[in-house]
Structure 1
Amino acid sequence: MDRSELSERDIQTKFITPALVQAGWTADFHLREEVQLTAGQILVTNGVVQRAAKKFADYVLYHAPNIPLAVVEAKDANHAVGAGIQQALGYADLLDVPFMYSSNGTGFIEHDRTAAHGLVERYLELDEFPSPEELWRRYCVWKQLTPNQTSLINQDYYLDGYGKAPRYYQMIAINRTIEAIARGQQRILLVMATGTGKTYTAFQIIWRLWKAKVKKRILFLADRNILVDQARNNDFKPFGNAMTKISNREANTAFEIYLALYQAMSGSEASQNIYRQFSPTFFDLIVIDECHRGSAAEDSAWRQILDYFASATHIGLTATPKETQTISNSDYFGDPLYTYSLKQGIADGFLAPYSVLRVATNVDLEGWRPQPGQRDADGQLIEDRLYNSRDFERMVFLDDRIQLVAARIAEFLRNHDPYQKTIVFCQNIEHAARMRTAIAQHCNEFVQEDARYVMQITGDNPEGKAQLDMFILPDSRYPVVVTTSKLLTTGVDVQTCRLIVIDQYLESMTEFKQIIGRGTRIREDYNKLYFTIMDFRNVTTLFNDPEFDGDPVQVQNFGVDQALPTATAAPPAEAQTTNIRYQIGSGEVVHILAEQVRYYSSDGRLITESVEHFARNTVRQRYTTLANFLQTWSHEAQKQAIVQELAAQGILFDKLAEIVGYEYDPFDLICHVAFDQPALTRRERAEQVRKRSYFAQYGEKARAVIQALLEKYADQGLATIQDRQVLQLPSFQQLGTPREIIQAFGSLGQYQQAVDELVRHLYAA
């Protein structure tokens, strides 16, 4: 058997899989093939949406369904045995596993982070692959796990029967937490970006500990009713009758899983502290959702609940750990056991990317100053000074500014989708009320259809709060636009939100992250793949702050002469000398000075480049010269691999074709856009090849096949003719079956050589 003619899949089937099975890796749960790790990053430029390629591991080897141990990457026989090891290392980092293997069917290269044999990398024959027992033994030594600890670690996940299982990062968070608790760790912090399934992760942790009877009475704490109800009705539902929600009336000790609001467990009077009806040792596990709020402060009333149940294991969940002089998650929980960031979630394709539309008004950029002696709508003399973005809707209400913002929101909705779920973040409740009225005026035709088109949802507005569930529900059309101040910043899961408007001055990085998190969920079934941030206060400059997507850094106490480092989104206002608020009616000159649209690129940057400029810069970063690109193109057997690599970096070939011409293939699009070369259409390239004499070396039937391949290239492009499945298309049936067509060239290898030569001639010019 000539291995050089075998595909990668053939090598797997004939050599690698048998070697793994012989070592004891069975297909029931030890061995899984083609394991999807990521969903493929969503790339958006100028409204064009596409997904980059998903990441698949050829093999993942497990000790149990919930504990991955190793990654095996396969290559065909034309690659070296270790050619896949770097790819395996990347997948191993994603899966948090210590063992990596690469194989081309002749043997294995092992990369062992435990260095159990003294060597990190070594060569293994096909029949030397380690058994499941051997890798599990090495793993336990590496993790320093005792037999008692491994019995807990082996406890299975909850599987719902519909194939839903934890994603790779959820699996890491769950497994690290279980291992930490098995070792006796009592305080644990998990940092996971909004929309990545913190509640589902918490459920799986609780389920495994509860089923293993390691934790028998568990409390899930939150500070908003909607967070508790969402958990009870969704992810926590499998707990069934073992679960209850604590009311603020009386404690019932007959259950095992408790969900509660802080507010329901404590009050201003000692008699209202329901939590004291439980003994201090009643709960052995407490999970604190959104732990950056409330209980994060040492002197908070809510922290007293945690202190009362101090003997329990405490797990804090947050997307935005808070680290200030007075509030510290890390002081209480320690450093995060695991962090899954917004940037990583977008790169993996599990979170929606965003475009940013910055809208700058003249009063926000230049400030506003009253005329000498000017009075407001209530007759108050306005203090003569320059007011800026920090003051608007706090101290100064400019009616014309509110109207301008509302008009721009309405224009955006009309130009895109007037029924896309939209959250407008305002300075305060009064601003939210005024903004609701202004948007209603500028969206009059939609409000006429249904008054719920735009609603104010704030803490003081019962009518709006009553519609919150309908706003969250993806199938509900109304409300469409919601104005708010603080109520929707955290925990409210509006999965189909596609527009976030920020008309709020922000100094808190935590609050900024929470606002951005309202749009990061993906719902492909509702065409929610990305979202837009419309910024009227220039606060999206916080995206440039390293703190935005990094690990939390605790702020130390400073002396009185030392300035505290803070992230600012606008120049500081002059000192406020009064609590007076000025109502400024219409008549002021307020207009938009500039707008800027920025897109989230494949490397996590916000870019303002056009599609062509972005493609040019991206290609030139990878291929510094035309000669460098041509050399790589000529040596790569599967040209589509180059195209896929560039597409994964954010180049939108469909959009380039729309601009340059659909009759050009990716090669010419790259040469034209990146290196200013004249482009040839696919048909022009095919005609050039037809005029050459190299056809003469083939028989009559083989020449007919090549002519058919050229025609298919001219119509559909290179990827079609490099795929052997092309021989099954109707246009080839008159030439014979795929087997007969291949025989016209002598063998499969000779047919492939003929295709490769045809491709070389197509790009010879």
Structure 2
Amino acid sequence: MMNESSDERLAAEQRARVLIDRQLVASGWAVQDRSVLNLFAPQQGIAVREVIMKPGHGRVDYLLYVDKAVVGVIEAKPIGTPLSGVEWQSAMYATGLPEDVRRKTLDPDGRLPFVFEASGTETHFTNGFDPAPRARRIFAFPRPETLATTIRAATENPDQSPTWRGKVLSLPSLDPAPLRPAQVDAINGIEQSLVEQCFGRSLVQMATGAGKTYTAVTEAYRLLKWGGFQRILFLVDRNNLADQTMGEFQNYRTPDDGRRFTELYNVTKLARGGMPASTKVAISTIQRVFKAIKNEDVPEGDDQGLDEFRPDEPVTVSYNPDLPPETFDLVIVDEAHRSIYGVWRGVLEYFDAHIVGLTATPGKQTFGFFQQNLVSEYTYPQSVADGVNVDFDIFRIKTEITANGSTIAAGTYVPTVDRSTREQKLIRLDTDLDYTPGQLDRAVTSKHQIRLVLETFRDRLFTEIFPGRHTVPKTLIFAKDDNHAEEIVQTVREVFGKGNDFAAKITYSAKDPKGHLKAFRTNPAMRIAVTVDMIATGTDVKPLECVMFMRDVRSGQYYEQMKGRGARTIAPADLKAVTDDADAKTRFVIVDAIGVTEHDFVEPPLNREKAISLKKLLDKAAALTLTEDEVATLASRLAALDRQLTPAERTELDEVAALQDATASMHAIVRALVDAVDPEIQATAVAAETDRAPADVVQDLLDTAVEPLAANPGLRTRIIELRRAKDQVIDEVSRDEVLEAYGVVDPDKAKHTIESWRGYLAEHRSEISAIELMFEAKGRGIRFDQIQELADRIARPPHNWTVDLIWNSYLSIGIEYRGHTETRNRHAATDLISLLRLEAGVDNALVPYSDQVEARYANWLLRQEQAGATFTETQRWWLDRMMRIIASSAGIDADDLDNAPFDERGGIDGALRDLGDNAGDLIEELNRELAA
């Protein structure tokens, strides 16, 4: 048995050596036996097998020569051997070099500098020139020229470390002058992590808009100049962001001599593996790096098929001699694709480089990849406090169809549109079409719902959302898909009565999206942009003041990134250059038309049952009552649907599947369904469980395959929505109505606002007439011009208060509301009187001023009736309208009777005619009884 076991071990080790030989050759090494040693082979590096070391040190598996001198050793072990357990053996070889072997550069302790352990499937590398030599896993053996470069650096400058791991120990102090505190913390955190080298990865959490890219450029400059780094890979989320990043490098002025970064170091987009030797920073997306590793050409421009591509399974990479793992010393991941640490992980781990992640919203998978090594954290609230970002408000628009869907009656002729060709045709509905909110703008487009949302936005824009303004703020609308975006753009132009320059669609399918994006940033004419995903992350549009969600978002991380598009600060002069009535950007507004802000932050043919619908199949899946033929049919239907989906829809469906099971994907689900009805797989399962009835074993296979659908109602719903979305129905008959539209104030912010408001009233009590009259005379005698004076003064910086803001702040801290429902969120300047009455102790609840006037008017009429006075219908016409003028203007005088609506009945003369000689007395009495 001992001999047999020994033979097996030797055979396993020999198989490993075959793999190691191949890997060495692929990396540019010549592999030779000791008996045919030829140091004059054309290769710069030679790996010699089975060399006997000095007595007591055994026989090394591979001795490595570079430029005809020994530089390292490789200890080979069978596949599956834990390599960390054999480091003592390779270290013994590294110090056991025979005297008759020509040496190169040795470490001070006499050991060879480069030590490897390998099994053919795993390779560990210890660089003796590092300050604290420690084995690390690498994808492939370094090329001989890479080791030669390190040796040459050690020889030419023996007092300096030839590796970046040594050089980062003596980086110069960071000059904080041009940096924000958060940027200083991030750079110091990264560099401390480089010094410690505990993880090989560093995560920086920095709020959107806080200057992540500038931080990364600053760090790149320091590491290239002083840190011994030779080349850096900078990964961006989308290809259109590569140009923006390139601009950051081009505009960066070095802190020492003021030259531009690109005057000192070559920065380029990654094209393919064999990049110019002068390249110091390569900018790319993860998808394009994957193509480069495969040695495929990488297109220059945007390519939605490439840039939005997400594989069903984790990618695997193979060695590319034109882009070897040692190509980059540092990989910076700047808000990269959300799946970069999942399916794309193999691309990142291909390179023997330190990885720095920059993100505003790290998720669990991100933290896991970086081994919880969060070196710097900077939150959004902190960025607002520091003036790095502006705060935001929420304006919610609810409509009946958005909340509850609608029904189109049977017999109605409705247009349908093919989503891929946009060809329309009329069809007659045979049955009532009930559609849910989730199907809106996917299976069904309700034209009136889109129009009503946009009309409400237009009508409330200058009264509640941006009160007092007259120019539509730069607004970004997020649509569900390209067809939805198309419908929104057309409706925006109609609702606002503007031309093509006013609003544009910025998606991958749009003509000249980069040109439109530039215009959106700088052109005063372009006010509204509609997008899906293209500018959802990373893209700066600093003048943006309004972000509208007409699509839901299931990912809290993605929502934060989308929200962050409006967070950027901008110099007042720059803002005014594109928005003439904006003095300064003090906030931005999220207009939520979908409810995104309300989340708590988803051998026979297979198609054997042609008469059953997909919905019925999914319902039966939920109840676990599918027959074997129905399981096969379901697999067929899902596979057919998959072929119709866009890449973005596939991604979304996989994300919903993964909500229940992190390993689930539509590809995996369909494959499991197919496997469950495979006769051979069934036969194998039955044979393995001889103590059970075959039918029970097969049923277990079917149930297991169906479980990801049965246990995930959201996934079933989304599949049906996507199926119906392939033939989209356009609802032209249902009319929508607004349920609610109001601002939402954070309770903590509301409390602060009320405290500031009370302080303002106390400070200015003696100088502002409206305040003084309220506190001294309980509001008697306050005129409209005095109220308007107060409204104008509080609207100025630094407070920028509106009646709506103060009113909603009181509601948010729990002050009781007593008034009509329809006036709860509709405020006028005269409602300042109600706010003053509350603070003066006259009232103990919020009551709109107009509601108070109406109530007083009703009491006055009742008292008149009780006193025997009666008014004709004509007289009531005059009195009712006088009441309304008082409600809106805090009073009325005789001159008002010559204006609308009184002028249609003769003005002052008409009032004397219909009310008699006591018309003046009635005006005075109404002012006294109803005003203030």
TM range (shorter): 0.5 to 0.7
Which residue number corresponds to residue 478 of structure 2? 425
Aligned partners of 2:660 and 2:708 also within 8 Å: no
Q: Which secondary structure does the structure 1 equivalent of 2:456 belong to?
A: helix
Question: Which runs of structure 2 are paired with 1:303-314 in the superposition (5 Å)?
Answer: 303-309=345-351, 311-314=352-355
The letter for the 2-side match of 1:173 is A
1:383 Cα deviation (Å)? 6.4
> Is 1:240 matched up with 2:262?
yes
The letter for the 1-side match of 2:528 is V
Which residue number corresponds to residue 112 of structure 2? none
Which residue number corresponds to residue 315 of structure 1? 356
Aligned partners of 2:414 and 2:732 also within 8 Å: no
State TM-score, norm by structure 1.
0.53
Taking structure 1 as reference, are residues 269 and 316 closer, same or farther at Cα in structure 2, changes over 3 Å only?
Answer: closer
Greater mean deviation of Cα atoms: 533-542 or 244-253 = 244-253
Q: Which has the larger radius of gyration?
A: 2
1:675 Cα deviation (Å)? 7.2
Measure, in 2, the Cα distance between the counterparts of 1:268 and 1:234. 24
The counterpart of 1:166, out of the listed 170, 176, 179, is 179
Which residue number corresponds to residue 133 of structure 2? none
Measure, in 2, the Cα distance between the counterparts of 1:467 and 1:585. 30
Taking structure 1 as reference, are residues 564 and 281 closer, same or farther at Cα in structure 2, changes over 3 Å only?
Answer: farther
Which residue number corresponds to residue 449 of structure 2? 401
> Is 1:279 matched up with 2:292?
no
The counterpart of 1:482, out of the listed 529, 534, 538, is 529
> Is 1:495 matched up with 2:542?
yes
The counterpart of 2:401, out of the listed 363, 384, 390, is 363
> Alpha-carbon deviations, 1:43-71, whole Å to 9, x = none?
xxxxxxxxxxxxxxxxxxxxxxxxxxxxx
1:509 Cα deviation (Å)? 1.3
Measure, in 2, the Cα distance between the counterparts of 1:432 and 1:318. 28
Measure, in 1, the Cα distance between the counterparts of 2:385 and 2:660. 32
Aligned partners of 1:370 and 1:385 also within 8 Å: yes
Which residue number corresponds to residue 469 of structure 1? 518
Which residue number corresponds to residue 339 of structure 1? 377
Aligned partners of 1:453 and 1:479 also within 8 Å: yes
Q: Which secondary structure does the structure 2 equivalent of 1:369 belong to?
A: strand
Measure, in 1, the Cα distance between the counterparts of 2:488 and 2:800. 41
Which residue number corresponds to residue 218 of structure 1? 232
The letter for the 2-side match of 1:329 is T
Q: Which secondary structure does the structure 1 equivalent of 2:743 belong to?
A: strand
Which residue number corresponds to residue 436 of structure 1? 489
Which residue number corresponds to residue 181 of structure 1? 194
Taking structure 1 as reference, are residues 368 and 224 closer, same or farther at Cα in structure 2, changes over 3 Å only?
Answer: same
Measure, in 1, the Cα distance between the counterparts of 2:752 and 2:280. 57
> Is 1:329 matched up with 2:375?
no
Measure, in 2, the Cα distance between the counterparts of 1:579 and 1:659. 44
Taking structure 1 as reference, are residues 458 and 555 closer, same or farther at Cα in structure 2, changes over 3 Å only?
Answer: closer
Aligned partners of 1:223 and 1:294 also within 8 Å: no
1:191 Cα deviation (Å)? 1.6
> Alpha-carbon deviations, 1:445-496, whole Å to 9, x = none?
x42xxx32100111111234432122234xx324221111111101110011
Taking structure 1 as reference, are residues 347 and 217 closer, same or farther at Cα in structure 2, changes over 3 Å only?
Answer: same
Greater length-normalized contact order (CA 8 Å, ≥ 6 residues apart): 1
Which residue number corresponds to residue 295 of structure 1? 340
> Alpha-carbon deviations, 1:491-521, whole Å to 9, x = none?
1100110011110022121221111100011
Q: Which secondary structure does the structure 1 equivalent of 2:504 belong to?
A: strand
Taking structure 1 as reference, are residues 442 and 615 closer, same or farther at Cα in structure 2, changes over 3 Å only?
Answer: same
Question: Which runs of structure 2 are paired with 1:229-628 in the superposition (5 Å)?
Answer: 229-235=243-249, 237=252, 238-241=260-263, 242-248=265-271, 250-267=274-291, 270-272=294-296, 277-297=322-342, 299-300=343-344, 303-309=345-351, 311-323=352-364, 328-335=365-372, 336-377=374-415, 378-379=426-427, 381=429, 384=432, 386-413=434-461, 416-444=469-497, 446-447=498-499, 451-473=500-522, 476-525=523-572, 526=575, 527-542=584-599, 545=601, 576=721, 578-600=724-746, 603=748
Q: Which secondary structure does the structure 2 equivalent of 1:514 belong to?
A: helix
Aligned-residue identity in percent: 23
> Alpha-carbon deviations, 1:650-698, whole Å to 9, x = none?
9959879x999xxxxxxxx9998657399xxxxxxxxxxxxxxxxxxxx
1:413 Cα deviation (Å)? 4.8
Taking structure 1 as reference, are residues 380 and 555 closer, same or farther at Cα in structure 2, changes over 3 Å only?
Answer: closer
Please provide the CA RMSD for this pair.
Answer: 4.2
Measure, in 2, the Cα distance between the counterparts of 1:504 and 1:479. 22
> Alpha-carbon deviations, 1:699-727, whole Å to 9, x = none?
xxxxxxxxxxxxxxxxxxxxxxxxxxxxx
Aligned partners of 2:661 and 2:708 also within 8 Å: no
Q: Which secondary structure does the structure 2 equivalent of 1:266 belong to?
A: helix
1:229 Cα deviation (Å)? 1.9
State TM-score, norm by structure 2.
0.44
1:348 Cα deviation (Å)? 3.0
Taking structure 1 as reference, are residues 269 and 201 closer, same or farther at Cα in structure 2, changes over 3 Å only?
Answer: closer
Aligned partners of 1:291 and 1:321 also within 8 Å: no
The letter for the 2-side match of 1:333 is F
The letter for the 1-side match of 2:454 is A
The letter for the 1-side match of 2:327 is F
The letter for the 2-side match of 1:295 is I
Q: Which secondary structure does the structure 1 equivalent of 2:533 belong to?
A: coil
1:151 Cα deviation (Å)? 6.8
Aligned partners of 1:186 and 1:313 also within 8 Å: yes
Taking structure 1 as reference, are residues 515 and 654 closer, same or farther at Cα in structure 2, changes over 3 Å only?
Answer: closer
> Alpha-carbon deviations, 1:140-178, whole Å to 9, x = none?
xxxxxxxx989746524468xxxx522112211111111
Measure, in 2, the Cα distance between the counterparts of 1:610 and 1:172. 29
1:562 Cα deviation (Å)? 10
Measure, in 2, the Cα distance between the counterparts of 1:540 and 1:262. 31
Which residue number corresponds to residue 220 of structure 2? 206
Q: Which secondary structure does the structure 1 equivalent of 2:427 belong to?
A: coil
Measure, in 2, the Cα distance between the counterparts of 1:613 and 1:591. 37
Measure, in 2, the Cα distance between the counterparts of 1:151 and 1:307. 22
The letter for the 1-side match of 2:334 is D
Measure, in 2, the Cα distance between the counterparts of 1:564 and 1:672. 59
In structure 2, stretches of 5+ residues that fail to align are: 1-164, 253-259, 299-319, 416-425, 464-468, 576-583, 602-657, 664-703, 762-793, 808-833, 844-932
Taking structure 1 as reference, are residues 190 and 611 closer, same or farther at Cα in structure 2, changes over 3 Å only?
Answer: closer
1:240 Cα deviation (Å)? 1.6
Which residue number corresponds to residue 56 of structure 1? none
Measure, in 2, the Cα distance between the counterparts of 1:260 and 1:153. 30
The counterpart of 1:676, out of the listed 841, 844, 868, is 841
The letter for the 1-side match of 2:512 is E
Aligned partners of 1:191 and 1:321 also within 8 Å: yes
1:218 Cα deviation (Å)? 1.3
In structure 1, stretches of 5+ residues that fail to align are: 1-147, 546-553, 620-646, 661-668, 679-765
Measure, in 2, the Cα distance between the counterparts of 1:154 and 1:533. 44
Aligned residues: 461
